[in-house]
């Protein structure tokens, strides 16, 4: 199955059911009052972790998810049936992001995690709720509240305890295949690994952890060059980084220069990544010049004043299995001491403040024909919940607009008696 780790989909929660206008019509109740029932709640769209999924491939074929609407209210004050929630299964490690605002809706990392992505609308009230001494038989009922609708971006970040980073062809895939039962594609050319590969490392003492071989980096990866940008998203989840370096230098690259370049790309993407433990894996030590290059690498590392903490170095050869046991044992020890890194919420808070400041209750524009156009989420929701088939409901909506300040705003914009005002696809005549 192809590995897909980023998709955009549209979700639509169910609308609430409409309230009903009805009256009691019973033989021995001569003055029967209102008896219209409320509408039922619309279904939510809920994302739930399915541990059996490993990719977002299924979302390539289904891009729209819509929950059912609530049932309408009925006579004799009967409430409409609430709709069932729409359950959407996603892989563990999926982040749900509002594509319009960039706000994080949910981060599903635990096996039992779930999040309501779109809330269903509440049911509209029947006319039984609008009775009063002045109006004992109201012909007013609400339509159901519209369910939330949005485009969301799903990002899958592999859940690995340990991530292998490094330039292409340094031996990451070979290391993974040697210490786990994973079978990644291995070949003697760059970018053999195009998608993350995961494997389980099991030690003789009973310890185990998940290791991920992540696609190779090149310079400029943090800016989207090559495969690195796709790779960098996945390293965010890892708790320990194994920095694999080709110590043989057979491709003419300087090992310490490779080390600095990879760390530069990690820092450019997210400075916090370098705060997590990093172990240098000096690979291909079975090659002729590897020992000399390792000695020079350690000397360069000691002279580097920018590194606050020098990483541990383990010399290995995936071909001869030299040094693998000490490396894995030390990795397990560091992993046991390293907590999981919390999900960042700064972007969510910033976006929420932006929405609060930038979205007014209503806006007024005028088209080329001189028609005044009213828009805005709050105003449009109130209109959609208005039953335009009953005059009393329309009068109630007119009072709601006046209370929101729509009348005064139209007057200040220059609206005159007889001008046409439009909300959605409904038009009416403005009267000051």
Establish whether 283 is an annotated binding residue: yes
Q: For the chain, what percentages of helix, strand and coil (3-state, to nearest 5) are there? A: 25, 25, 50
Establish whether 162 is an annotated binding residue: no
Establish whether 167 is an annotated binding residue: yes
Partners of residue 211 on adjacent β-strands: 162, 199
Establish whether 213 is an annotated binding residue: yes
Establish whether 173 is an annotated binding residue: yes
Establish whether 21 is an annotated binding residue: no
Establish whether 319 is an annotated binding residue: yes
Partners of residue 266 on adjacent β-strands: none
Establish whether 195 is an annotated binding residue: yes
Establish whether 259 is an annotated binding residue: no
Specify the 3-state DSSP secondary structure of 33.
Answer: coil
Q: Is 136 exposed, middle or buried (0-12, 13-18, 19+ CB in 10 A)?
A: exposed
Establish whether 318 is an annotated binding residue: yes
Establish whether 285 is an annotated binding residue: yes
Tokens of 100: 């319009």
Establish whether 301 is an annotated binding residue: no
Establish whether 172 is an annotated binding residue: yes
CA distances from 345 to 5, 93, 271, 352, 404 (A): 21, 16, 16, 11, 33
Query: Cα separation of 40 and 281, whole Å?
Result: 60
Nearest C-alpha neighbor of 244 from the set 210, 207, 215, 273: 215
Tokens of 314: 């383990």
Tokens of 353: 């403040």
Query: Cα separation of 77 and 109, whole Å?
Result: 44
Establish whether 171 is an annotated binding residue: yes
Query: Cα separation of 428 and 391, whole Å?
Result: 13
CA distances from 288 to 37, 249, 345 (A): 85, 10, 49
Establish whether 214 is an annotated binding residue: yes
Establish whether 302 is an annotated binding residue: no
Long-range Cβ contacts of 296-302 (<8 Å, 24+ apart):
296/255, 296/256, 297/245, 297/247, 297/255, 297/256, 297/259, 300/256, 301/256, 301/259
Q: What DSSP character marks residue 133?
A: S
Q: What DSSP character marks residue 393?
A: H
| Residue for token pair 């800016």 | 223
Specify the 3-state DSSP secondary structure of 199.
Answer: strand
CB 312 within 8 A of CB 280: yes
Query: Cα separation of 289 and 244, whole Å?
Result: 17
Q: What DSSP character marks residue 142?
A: B
Establish whether 281 is an annotated binding residue: no
Q: b/e string for 230-241 if b means 16 or more Cβ within 10 A?
A: bbbbbbbbbbbb
Specify the 3-state DSSP secondary structure of 374.
Answer: strand
| Count of other CB atoms within 10 angstroms of residue 217 | 27
Establish whether 193 is an annotated binding residue: yes
Residue set of the binding site: 166-173, 191-195, 213-216, 283-286, 317-319
> Can you say which residues are annotated as belonging to the binding site for Mg(2+)?
173, 193
Residue ranges for the binding site for GTP?
A: 166-173, 191-195, 213-216, 283-286, 317-319
């Amino acid at each position: 199955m192809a590995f897909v780790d980023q998709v955009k989909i549209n979700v639509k929660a169910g609308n609430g059911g409409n309230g009903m206008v009805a009256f009691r019509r019973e033989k021995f109740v001569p003055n029967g009052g209102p008896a219209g029932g409320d509408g039922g709640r619309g279904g939510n769209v809920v994302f739930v972790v399915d541990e059996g999924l490993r990719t977002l491939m299924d979302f390539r074929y289904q891009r729209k998810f819509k929950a059912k609407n609530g049932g309408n209210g009925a006579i004799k004050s009967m409430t409409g049936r609430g709709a069932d929630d729409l359950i959407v299964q996603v892989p563990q490690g999926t982040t749900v992001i509002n594509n319009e605002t960039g706000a994080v809706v949910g981060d599903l990392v635990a096996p039992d995690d779930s999040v309501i992505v779109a809330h269903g609308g509440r049911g509209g009230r029947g006319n039984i709720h609008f009775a009063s001494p002045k109006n004992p038989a109201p012909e007013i009922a609400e339509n159901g509240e519209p369910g939330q609708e949005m485009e969301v971006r799903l990002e899958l970040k592999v859940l690995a305890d340990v991530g292998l980073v490094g330039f292409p062809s340094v031996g990451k895939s070979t290391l993974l295949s040697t210490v786990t039962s994973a079978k990644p594609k291995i070949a003697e050319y760059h970018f053999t690994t195009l998608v993350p590969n995961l494997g389980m490392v099991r030690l003789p003492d009973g310890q185990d952890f998940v290791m991920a071989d992540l696609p190779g980096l090149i310079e400029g990866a943090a800016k989207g060059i090559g495969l690195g940008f796709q790779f960098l998203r996945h390293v965010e989840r890892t708790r320990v980084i194994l920095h694999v370096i080709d110590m043989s230098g057979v491709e003419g690259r300087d090992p310490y220069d490779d080390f600095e370049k990879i760390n530069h790309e990690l820092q450019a993407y997210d400075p916090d990544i370098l705060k997590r433990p990093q172990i240098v894996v000096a690979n291909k030590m079975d090659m002729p010049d590897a020992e000399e290059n390792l000695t020079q690498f350690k000397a360069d590392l000691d002279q580097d004043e920018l590194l606050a903490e020098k990483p541990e170095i383990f010399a290995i050869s995936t071909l001869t299995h030299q040094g693998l046991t000490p490396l894995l044992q030390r990795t397990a020890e560091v992993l046991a001491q390293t907590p999981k890194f919390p999900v960042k919420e700064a972007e969510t808070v910033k976006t929420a403040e932006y929405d609060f400041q930038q979205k007014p209750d209503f806006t007024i524009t005028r088209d080329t024909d001189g028609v005044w156009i009213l828009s805005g989420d709050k105003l449009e929701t109130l209109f959609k919940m208005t039953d335009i088939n009953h005059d009393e409901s329309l009068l109630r909506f007119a009072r709601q607009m006046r209370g929101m300040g729509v009348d005064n705003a139209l007057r200040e914009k220059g609206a005159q008696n007889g001008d046409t005002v439009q909300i959605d696809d409904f038009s009416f005549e403005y009267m000051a």
